[in-house]
Chains A and B, each alone.
Chain A
Amino acid sequence: MNDHKFAFIICTNDDLLLEECIHYINHLTVPPGYELDLLTIADAPCITAGYNEGMTASDARYKIYLHQDVFLLNRNILSDLLAIFASDPRIGLIGMVGYDRVSPDGIMWHVPRSGNLYTRKDASRYPDPASYRFSIHRDGYRPVAEVDGFFMATCVDLPWDTDVLKGWDFYDAFQSIRFLQSGYKAVVPVQNHPWCLHDDNKFLNLSDYNTYRKLFLKIHADILGKDWAEVLCTQSEERKDT
């Protein structure tokens, strides 16, 4: 494992979006002494298989699983991620948007949200991306139970669940819980200005979302409605028992 390397891992089906996504990645400041890899997976049968392929192909310690329709605005994001990971060795997963507890109905956005996203309705003017600075001491981060899948940065490799997840939905909820149940915290930085723009058109396309939501409710029935600490604690207690 190369501790001084980042890898962006992107499953893609749209060259236009991918090229633009990469344009923003190419403008990031890479911390001194670090390398940056980019793995794009165009023919994945499902997102978990694509992410596993990217995960095993890269020796980077820090992996950022990114949607092709995400444009990174915080040019210092890589240094900021390092600072957050370094602040607590139990942090395994960082998102840009997250949810404090597991929604009882499985739908993330039905519970309070942490994080920030670029919106057009924000009345305040966004700063020039070059001038934005995050401070882990001044701004900090919030622990969450689940992070939204458009951006998931990790510092440990936990396999994505290809046994259960064979589509493009709900992988983020399952993976977040996997991190918490493996003893790692998931956190979202406090972003005074959004670190990325997610051009997802705000729609669930016709998909298997509900099928996987029901699976999530069934498999994770014991943690529905619980907050991140309870999910983490549950696992710690289970670990002690075993």
Chain B
Amino acid sequence: MRTLSDLSKEAEQYFRQMELDKDAAREAYRHILSTINAALSTQELSAMPGLIPYIEEGDGHLAFQYIGKTHRFLRMLHIIELEQKYHKILFCSDCRSAESLWEKYMLTLFAFRRILFRLSEDSAAEAVQYLQNRPVSHFAAYIMTQDELLAPDQRFYETLASIFAEYWSDLDMQQFFTLTGTASQTPQGDLL
């Protein structure tokens, strides 16, 4: 078990290292943003998944280590990589910049949470409408529900499946329930 003294030493070491790394981390983050911006503005999207090894194993790991937003961008890249591989409409298909990609991701996450927390009928209905207007793949729904700060239950997964019933194929639906480890359900059409 680590003592307070150990923790303090670790903290000192962390701050020393952060000071040494901060310029490189910022530069790596700038590179990630500029690569995403270039790919989205030209719709040359093949370059985007190349950022995954850069962040996970290359110089980009410093951005991952120190700049929180990098984690969500990495999640988006994994979503897009899966969508490219399985020929799905890409999460970024209606985005032309890293900023608009970020906004889409956050608004999708907020909509998920509004449905999960059911603050009011209007709040949930607005979220459903948003998701139906800007649907996402079952890969995006899976990765976001697994990695983001929300605790989904069976009912929530079924609600998502209902919302995206017209957008996801039967196979997508089946894969989504398999991935989430929940029993396959036929969407009932009751969104909330």
Could you tell me which A residues sit within 8 Å of B by CB distance? 16-17, 20, 23-24, 27, 71, 73, 75, 103-105, 107, 110-111, 118-122, 125-126, 128-130, 197, 199-206, 209-210, 213
B67 interface residue, CB < 8 Å from A? yes
B151 touches A125 (CB 8 A): yes
Which A-chain residue is minimally distant from B102 (CB atoms)?
Answer: A16
Residues of A within 8 A of B123 (CB): 23, 27
- B153 adjacent to A125 (CB under 8 Å): yes
CA separation between A126 and B120, bound complex, in Å?
A: 17
**Total of A-B residue pairs, C-beta within 8 Å:** 78
Determine the chain A residues whose CB is within 8 A of the CB of B110 once the complex forms. Answer: 16, 20
Q: Which residues of the other chain, A, contact B142 by a CB distance below 8 angstroms? A: none
Add 6 more A-B contacts to A119-B149, A200-B68 (CB < 8 A): A16-B107, A20-B110, A122-B151, A197-B113, A206-B18, A210-B19
Residue B11 at the chain A interface, CB threshold 8 Å: yes
Return 24 A-B CB contacts under 8 Å, by A number. Answer: A16-B107, A23-B119, A27-B123, A73-B117, A103-B4, A107-B11, A110-B8, A118-B151, A119-B149, A119-B151, A120-B148, A120-B149, A120-B150, A120-B151, A125-B153, A128-B118, A199-B149, A202-B68, A203-B66, A203-B67, A204-B18, A204-B66, A209-B15, A210-B18
Q: How many of chain B's residues have a CB under 8 angstroms from any CB in A?
A: 32
Q: Does B69 contact A (CB under 8 A)?
A: yes
Per DSSP, chain A at the interface is loop
- Residues in B with CB closer than 8 Å to A210 are 15, 18-19
B72 interfacial by beta-carbon distance below 8 Å: yes
Kindly list chain A residues whose C-beta atoms are within 8 Å of the C-beta of B7.
105, 107, 110
- State how many angstroms separate the Cβ of B143 from the closest Cβ of chain A: 13
The answer to whether B72 touches A206 (Cβ under 8 A) is no
Check A16 against B106 for contact (C-beta < 8 Å): yes
**Residue of chain B at shortest CB distance from A111:** B4
Q: For the complex, give the distance between the alpha carbons of A128 and B123 in Å.
A: 14
Chain B contacts of A125 at CB under 8 A?
A: 151, 153
Contacts of A24 in B (CB 8 A): 119
Least distance between A167 CB and chain B CB atoms (Å) = 15
Contact yes or no, B153 A206, CB < 8 A: no
Residue of B nearest to A129 (CB): B117
Using CB atoms, name the residue of chain B closest to A214.
B15
Contact A71 B71, CB 8 Å, known A104-B8, A129-B118, A205-B66: no
Find residues 122-158 in chain B having any chain A CB closer than 8 Å to their own CB: 123, 148-151, 153
Q: Is the CB of B67 within 8 A of A205?
A: yes
Task: Verify if B22 is at the interface (C-beta below 8 Å from A).
Answer: yes
Give complex CA distance A213, B117 in Å.
36
